[in-house]
Amino acid sequence: MLKKTLLTLGVLSLFSVFQPAPAEAEELNFVCLTNSAHVNTPHAIIPWIEEVARRTDNKLQIIRFDVNTLVPVRENFTATVNGFIDIGSNTVGDNPGVFPVHNVLQLPMITYNSRTTSYAITELAKKYQAVRDEFKDIHLLWYWATPEYTINTTKKPVRSLEDLKGLRLLVWDNYVQEIVTRLGATPIMVPPLDSYLSLSRGMADGVICPAAVLVSWKLGEVTKYHTRCNLTANVFWCGMNKDRWDGLSDDFKKVLTETSANMSVNCSTVTDVKGAGSELQWCKDNGHEIITISEEEHARWTEILKPMYQEWLDEMARLGIKDAPEILKDAQALTQKRYDELSAAGTL
């Protein structure tokens, strides 16, 4: 009996030796692109953080910081690469020259909303190495995107090209700056969170921005007209410092991978429905005018902006991106495919 007991204990001891050690507790800082007031924070980001904690028995804690706290927003990518930030997020438009392939979805009149853009960039990244290579220096967790950009003006409604002439419009990135210039208005580049102050002081006639921040960033308080024109979009990324990722236990990596899998859909749906849809409705309820340009006007704008497609292709050729024509073609097809699906389902 004693021998049997000792043998059993010995086997159990050996078994325990070869069992993987339980993951040690980890804490990751996360500089979130959206601030606390943005609709995505309570409805997508915080639920993800809570799910990660729940699935790891609170051993993996993600500490969220608002944008522009640990570092200026335009430094989020660099800070994630060098490890100052564990998890970062931002738009590709904030780093000119760093994500030229991703800029295909900033080309004008291609995409429709956050869900169409998020779907397209996710599928493009699966198919094309040139897309994946632009994020090779971090561990990418997910993509999502802005909703439609609207032209939001203080005093003058925009229904045509002629209405744009001479308007001073705030813009937040180089691509929109170029679009505005070609359409005949005068762009003024500002950091996004400076827009409210600039408009309230009369320093500009309007702002071109995603419709999902009209209320949360108080821009609807200083604008009255909102023109929907399918103008452009901006891709968002969320990713992790590579060394920090590599240092995590396999269990933690598995949880982060699995919980991130649906975040592109979650974030983009919240952005479109609870963000842009709700905030444009708030504007309408408060006496603002929501304008959609006519098909004829849309064609006029597209004709003026169409040379930007070839310019992007020329830039890709200089960079040696041989798949660029296919990437552009697929970007257009994927956004249209997702738009048609949403339209058929009645969920636009």
Q: Which stretches within the chain are classed as H helix?
A: 2-17, 40, 46-55, 76-82, 114-127, 129-133, 161-164, 174-182, 195-200, 242-246, 250-260, 263-269, 278-285, 295-305, 307-318, 324-345
Q: What is the pLDDT of residue 7?
A: 46
**Among 159, 305, 282, 168, which residue's Cα sits nearest to residue 216?**
282
3-state secondary structure of 131: helix
Nearest-5° angle of CA 248, CA 250, CA 256?
A: 75
Q: What is the pLDDT of residue 6?
A: 43
Single-letter code of the amino acid located at 63: I
Rounded Cα gap, residues 103 and 115, in angstroms? 17
**Among 123, 90, 135, which residue's Cα sits nearest to residue 242?**
135
Q: What is the pLDDT of residue 23?
A: 64
For strands 149-153 and 138-145, give the pairing: unpaired
Which structure tokens are listed for 247? 């240092």
- HSE (side-chain half, CA atoms, 13 Å) at 124: 31
Q: What is the pLDDT of residue 4?
A: 47
- pTM for this model (two decimals): 0.89
Q: What is the pLDDT of residue 21?
A: 52
Mean pLDDT, 10 residues at a time, the chain of 348 residues = 46 46 83 88 97 98 95 95 98 93 96 96 98 98 96 98 97 93 97 94 97 92 97 96 98 98 96 94 98 96 97 98 98 97 94
Query: Positive or negative, the Cα torsion across 2, 19, 24, 258?
Result: negative
Rounded Cα gap, residues 128 and 31, in angstroms? 28
Q: What is the pLDDT of residue 36?
A: 87
Considering just the CA atoms, what is the radius of gyration of the chain in Å? Answer: 23
CB 105 within 8 A of CB 175: no
Q: What is the pLDDT of residue 12?
A: 45
pLDDT tens per residue, range 66-93: 989 999 999 999 999 999 999 999 999 8
Rounded Cα gap, residues 96 and 312, in angstroms? 13
Which structure tokens are listed for 296? 């004829």
Number of Cβ within 10 Å of residue 222's Cβ equals 19
**Among 94, 34, 64, 31, which residue's Cα sits nearest to residue 217?**
34
Residue 314, exposed/middle/buried by CB under 10 A (0-12, 13-18, 19+)? exposed
Strand arrangement of the beta sheet that strand 206-210 belongs to = 186-189, 168-171, 206-210, 149-153, 225-228, 289-292
For strands 60-65 and 26-31, give the pairing: parallel
CB 29 within 8 A of CB 85: yes
Q: What is the pLDDT of residue 8?
A: 45
Q: Any residues with CB less than 8 A from the CB of 56 and at least 6 apart, and which? A: 23, 251, 252, 255
Q: Any residues with CB less than 8 A from the CB of 74 and at least 6 apart, and which? A: 90, 94, 95
- Owner of token pair 């070609």: 182
CB 148 within 8 A of CB 118: no
Nearest-5° angle of CA 273, CA 270, CA 204?
A: 75
